[in-house]
Amino acid sequence: MNRVLAPFIALLVSALIVNAAHAAGTEEWSFVWVSSTTTDWDIIKGVATVKRTGVNFVAEATGENTVKYRIVGKIEGRSIAARFTILESEFANAPFVGTYTKRKDKGINPCGMELIALHDGANFIGLRRNFNHHSCGP
């Protein structure tokens, strides 16, 4: 391989791999479930992966409590209709609604972020990921 072209080809391949991972939605998302109890709030944080196919999405989350969760839904514009399940429990397919947000915050997160915010009247579920790339700045 030509010594002059080798660095450029390596850079191009790296960029393609990063873009493919981003397009496949393999980045880690943060997860939070806030539920209203009879006397207080119960807050569970964790990590998730979100896979989108057209308007449909499936989120697989694991809380810091090691419990696994699944959210299956549809995003139409900014509106979301979804079902929430605590895996390996009787709590299954609870209906949630919410909003989808994708935005950039100058100075704070110049690459931007995505947020899926869901609620059912007594519970709130949030899935969030930041876009990070060296070209966006600090």
Question: pTM for this structure?
Answer: 0.74
For residue 97, which phi and psi values (nearest 5 degrees)? -130, 165
Q: What is the mean pLDDT of the chain?
A: 82
Whole-number pLDDT of residue 137? 58
Name the DSSP class of 39.
S
Q: Is residue 51 part of a domain?
A: yes
Q: Which of 52, 55, 63 is nearest to 22 (CA)?
A: 52
Bridge partners (DSSP) listed for residue 35: 42, 123
CA 44-49-53 angle, to 5 degrees, is: 130
Q: Rounded mean pLDDT of 13-38?
A: 66
Q: Rounded mean pLDDT of 4-33?
A: 54
Query: In whole angstroms, what is the distance from residue 128 CA to residue 33 CA?
Result: 12
Instruction: Give the lowest-confidence range in 40-44, 52-56, 102-106.
Output: 102-106
Q: Is residue 65 part of a domain?
A: yes
Split into its structural domains, the chain has a count of 1
Bridge partners (DSSP) listed for residue 116: 100, 127
Whole-number pLDDT of residue 134? 64
The answer on pLDDT for 101 being more than 90 is yes
Q: Which of 53, 60, 94 is nearest to 74 (CA)?
A: 53
Query: In whole angstroms, what is the distance from residue 110 CA to residue 127 CA?
Result: 19
Q: Is residue 4 part of a domain?
A: no
Q: 28 with 49: CB under 8 angstroms?
A: yes
Q: Is residue 90 part of a domain?
A: yes
Tell me, what CATH number does 45's domain have?
2.40.128
